[in-house]
Amino acid sequence: MSKEWILNQAMNRWGLNKKRYVGAVSNLIRNCSPKTVDEWRNYYYKNVHPESYLRELGQKLYIKITEVIQHEIAEVTEEDCINYIKEVVIDRTFEGYQTEIHTIYGQLQSHINYHIEPAPDEWDRLFNVDFYIKIRDSYVGLQIKPISFEHTFEDYKWKEMQENTHTSFQKMYGGKVFTIFSIKEGDKKIIYNKEIIDDIKQEIKRLEEE
């Protein structure tokens, strides 16, 4: 086990690197604008906390690792490890699957006779496509965005970007790309532009008949 990994995990667990302990270091160093690490060190010790304070934090971290974590590790049994592996692989995977089928993807899948597949990372980067539907030798692209996305870009910029990438996808793979907007309703997301489901079905039918 890497020593640094242990130190990092423990420091994050007890928040010893948080602002309430060490100050807003990102802002402080910008205020200091140091040319060297010595300049920054001197600034911090003089204006934020003295070196003795950081030594105390380090001692606190040492106690957490050698007393608390060591005690917790000693209590872990072989059966705990076996059960945890089973829980992650079986139970949590199933829970994740159940969550997935209640998402936008799952709602859309219930209306489409073809299987909806996650798009390769390359398609996301090049064509703004999150999922696809394979129809014979062609593909229909699907993009899922929260309703607020419509307002994160000026309309003409957003439409131009989508038009270019989605047109490229259609030229290469035969099918159109449809953007599905989601909106939160209570604790779950639902399809905002439900009319797009019929548009997708019409595109699937067109490709089937080609």
Q: Any bridge partners for residue 177, and if so which?
A: 141
For 71, 73, 75, the CA distances from 68, given in Å and listed in that order, are 5, 9, 11
> Mean pLDDT in the chain?
87
Task: Record the tokens describing residue 111, joined without a space.
Answer: 């209306």
| pLDDT tens figures, 20-35 | 999 999 999 999 999 9
Is the pTM for the entire model greater than 0.85? no
Query: Tokens representing 4?
Result: 């640094």
The b-or-e profile of 94-114 (16+ CB within 10 A means b, else e) is eeeeeeeeeebbebbbeeeee
Sequence ranges of the domains in the chain: 3-75, 104-209
> What single letter denotes the amino acid at residue 65?
I
What does the alpha-carbon distance between residue 133 and residue 130 come to, in Å, rounded to a whole number?
Answer: 11
- Beta bridge pairs of residue 144: 180
What pLDDT, on a 0 to 100 scale, did the predictor assign at position 153?
A: 42
| Paired tokens of 64 | 């957490």
Amino acid at 191: I
How many angstroms separate the CA atoms of 122 and 115, rounded?
20
Q: What is the pLDDT of residue 157?
A: 55
117, β-bridge pairs = 132
Segment 34-69, tens digit of pLDDT: 999 999 999 999 999 999 999 999 999 999 999 999
Q: What is 104-209's CATH number?
A: 3.40.1350
Could you state, in chain order, the average pLDDT of each consecutive group of 10 residues for the chain (210 residues)?
Answer: 87 92 93 94 95 95 93 93 93 73 80 90 88 94 75 53 86 93 79 91 93
Assign 187 to helix, strand or coil: coil
Continuous segment of H or E residues that includes residue 189: strand 188-191
